[in-house]
Amino acid sequence: MSFTPFAFSKTDPVRASNVVSFLFWGCLAAALWSSCDQLDDPIIAIIPPCESEDAPVFESLSSATQGVLLEDFTAHQCGNCPPAATEAGILASAHPGIVIPLAIHAGDLASTNTEYPNDWTCAESDVFWGDLQFQVNPAGRINRQDDETAIFFQDEWEEKINEQLALVPTAGLQMEVQYNPEDGKTAVHVHTTWFDDQPGPVRLALLIAESALFGPQLWYGNNPEYVEVYEFEHLLRGSVTGAKGLVVADSPNAGDADQFCYAFDWEDSWDANHSEIIAVLTRDNGSVIQVLSAHVAE
């Protein structure tokens, strides 16, 4: 059985007292549920409390720009991958805050050995790799269009991104991350505004990406081709909600607004100063409705 968050449709302004507070501490949830629900995907343990008095109050949006999630399936033993990572960075820089890059290390070329000792994969990267109709590095997904199985190669990315940028968004996202560096307590507040009706279930995934990571990388044509200290950016490290996220709405209507709160302990091995939370709102087939990124520690 999967754990599904409460969702409340509200009028403006959305009050902090209506924020969803998740309780996921083993079978303490049995006090609220008849059984101890489990998530489909491994996640950080969501812990109480997500304090309502600390929650931001978001006004519903009247409009938004369509965000684009650019997922770059890469690997440290993939010699053709660094140019693709460079292209992803260029496209993101051309549309700051709108095109959201995410480097997903996966596949056989992401395996480790004495020359490539860093394991940059995670449970979520394995899930996303398994989605693909054709598994190859490098390759990318652009808002997972038309569904999560489709991939595009580097020379197609700009055209596919422009197609997404031209769309009128179905929904808008707002997000605030509250991180306490003293104890690692972290709360992520996400607000959705619906501009159009959306049939069927809607999922919200909170993915964690980290930059300024260093390790060996193969790079064909570079001198040297074995780059001992290569900088990895926007690397998928894990998630708060599982790879595919949690169902947060079912057939929302235009004008609906929902706010959610997720509280958890930050993982010590991740540098909060170089990490971001990526909120990905998807249809049930995995295609992206809207995406937004926020730094963990400003």
Output the average pLDDT for the chain: 86
Q: Which CATH architecture has domain 16-46+169-205+247-295?
A: Sandwich (2.60)
Tell me the pTM: 0.86
CA-closest candidate to residue 250, choices 1, 2, 5, 3: 5
Dmax (CA) of the chain: 61
> Could you read off the pLDDT of 129-159 as tens digits, one per residue?
999 999 999 999 999 999 999 999 999 999 9
> Could you read off the pLDDT of 161-214 as tens digits, one per residue?
999 999 999 999 999 999 999 999 999 999 999 999 999 999 999 999 999 999
Which token pair is 83?
Answer: 């140019």
Give the C-alpha separation, 33 to 3, whole Å: 10
Give the domain ranges of the chain.
16-46+169-205+247-295, 68-166+210-236
Specify whether domain 68-166+210-236 bears CATH 3.90.75.
no
**3-class SS letters over 237-271:** EEECCCCCCEEEEECCCCCCEEEEEEEEECCCCCC
CA-closest candidate to residue 239, choices 39, 91, 38, 35: 39
Element (H, E) at 123: helix 123-131
Answer yes or no: are the C-beta atoms of 58 and 174 closer than 8 Å: yes
Confidence at residue 1, expressed as pLDDT on a 0 to 100 scale: 27
From the CB of residue 225, how many other CB atoms can be counted at a distance below 10 Å?
11
Asked if pLDDT for residue 41 goes beyond 50, the answer is: no
